[in-house]
Structure 1
Amino acid sequence: ELPLWDHSGWLWAMAVHIVLVEPIYYWAHRIAHNGRLYRQLHSHHHLSIRVRPLTSICFLPLEHLFYDVLFALPILGVALSGHGSYLYYSTAVALMVDLPNALGHANYEFMPLWWIRSKFLSPIFYSAAYHTAHHTHFKGNYALFMPWCDMLWGTHLAAATEGHLARATGAACDER
């Protein structure tokens, strides 16, 4: 029988997300931005240069299927760890995927400047300006929610992110 809450399940989920989901997503997303694969699959998502929360789920079915399988890995990890709970299974995707994805596509900066400009915190969780730079420059800022992958593999668009951030303080990320 499942308990209502088990904090260990959330820790397992975060570990699987950091170790597997972020790097796999990063490389799949980076590859999806090349030539034929971009034109036939991922360009559909980039029809929205001015992003909105619903842009975060605007993909063709094949790409959706890939992401759904990828986002199921933490849930599988929690199940295999034996630390699942009703609260985890009922809220995991909404709290760990849908909400952060919508925030990154909100075209409004929710993250405080001190977080975004921190060299220690900014790799941990992205900002709307970070993701807006991806949608306006197309090559770079491929990470899902944790920019450490872009920073590690040299695709972090720091100047473009800062440019959007300068325009986004209390405003839409693409306002000038």
Structure 2
Amino acid sequence: MNIFQLASSLHYLVEGFSPAAIALNSTAESFSTIYGTLKTISETDPTSAASALSLVERAWAAWYIWMNNDVLATGLLFFLTHELMYFGRCLPWYIIDHIPYFRKWKIQPNKIPLDKEQWECFKAVIKSHLLVEALPIWLFHPLCATLGISIDVPFPALKVMAAQIALFFVLEDNWHYWAHRLFHYGPFYKHIHKQHHKYAAPFGLAAEYAHPIEVMSLGFGTVGFPIIYAYCTKQYPQLNLPVLHLFTLTVWIVLRLFQAVDSHSGYEFPWSLHHFFPLWAGAEHHDDHHHFFIGNYASSFRYLDYLLGTESGIPANIVRERKMRQKAEAK
């Protein structure tokens, strides 16, 4: 397939970002590497739409052009992003666990995870990624095409992506709260959720250390709501919802991974986000859940546990007991 035929087959080229512009002063070797593809796109006619693309947008387009297979490109992109971002985010916390200086910010300072524990956890998480999560990731692109999730360039406006990601954070947090609370009920805890509570003092790698059923159930909150959003966008055009872009979904998943790993880090710093954004949960919120094995069921925010009386930890128990006494005295 020559350059012109290759470019013509790519349905995401924007107006002005034409096959002719890509083919101009190019050779077949231009697309033999990802760098060569990016370089070719960057050197297109400065009057074309391609010249207005950001570096990230050009890299995104170059990836799909170079792969020349949308299903493979999306599957590999999602799988590599998930693995690199998850373990990449875990690595700093693993290093911090080996530096005594940071112990003063460790929430449970007497419970430092051993290398053996982290290694066993690492093997279990890798196994889960390969056996539970890999197949849905690799088959995601056909679903994107069916639902109209865009892979075009340029990307949507920043405010559109930010609003969609904020919506996904809220929806996921609500789903996580109720699903997590259910997993603490009798047989669900005994046969499923107990695996995640193996570590009473959590560490970064333990974020996705869970039973396959729990991985799929709680994972729905991360991927399911964007799918529902895309479905509503396509089925109910009268809602005028902005189209969901795959890049937005990628950013959302990265942020959700960071949130999950950080909440299991076991460290509470003066600069932790919840000090500046009180609704944010963070490590201190989730560490109490692992420490006391109950309460603090939400993932990203604190308001549901506060409103529904399921806050965990000693201070929350004191407040609940005081309210119960006041209620009893009033009767």
Common fold by TM > 0.5:
yes
Aligned twin of 1:101? 260
1:157 alignment partner, SS class: coil
Matched, 1:21 2:172: yes
1:82 alignment partner, SS class: coil
Structure label with greater radius of gyration = 2
Structure 2 CA distance for aligned equivalents of residues 56 and 113 of structure 1: 18
Aligned residues: 155
Q: CA deviation at 1:40?
A: 0.2
Offset from partner CA, 1:105-132 (integer Å, 9 cap, x none): 011124637944x7xx322x11211111
1:72 alignment partner, SS class: helix
1:142 alignment partner, SS class: coil
Offset from partner CA, 1:77-100 (integer Å, 9 cap, x none): 5533333335313322011x1000
Matched, 1:82 2:242: yes
Aligned twin of 1:133? 288
Give ranges in structure 2 of 5+ residues lacking alignment.
Answer: 1-11, 13-151, 234-240, 317-331
Q: CA deviation at 1:158?
A: 5.4
Aligned twin of 2:314? 159
Change in 2 beyond 3 A, CA 1:160/1:137: farther
Change in 2 beyond 3 A, CA 1:86/1:5: farther
Code of the aligned partner of 1:64: V
TM-score after normalising by structure 1: 0.76
Change in 2 beyond 3 A, CA 1:5/1:89: same
Offset from partner CA, 1:43-99 (integer Å, 9 cap, x none): 00000112111111001111111122221134225533333335313322011x100
Aligned twin of 2:298? 143
Q: CA deviation at 1:38?
A: 0.3
Instruction: Please identify which structure carries the higher helix content.
Output: 2
Structure 1 CA distance for aligned equivalents of residues 228 and 169 of structure 2: 9
% of aligned pairs identical? 23
TM-score after normalising by structure 2: 0.43
Q: CA deviation at 1:6?
A: 2.7
Give ranges in structure 1 of 5+ residues lacking alignment.
Answer: 162-176
Aligned twin of 1:62? 213
More relative contact order in 1 or in 2 (CA 8 Å, sep 6+)?
1
Please tell me whether the aligned partners of residues 262 and 283 of structure 2 are also in contact (alpha carbons under 8 angstroms).
yes
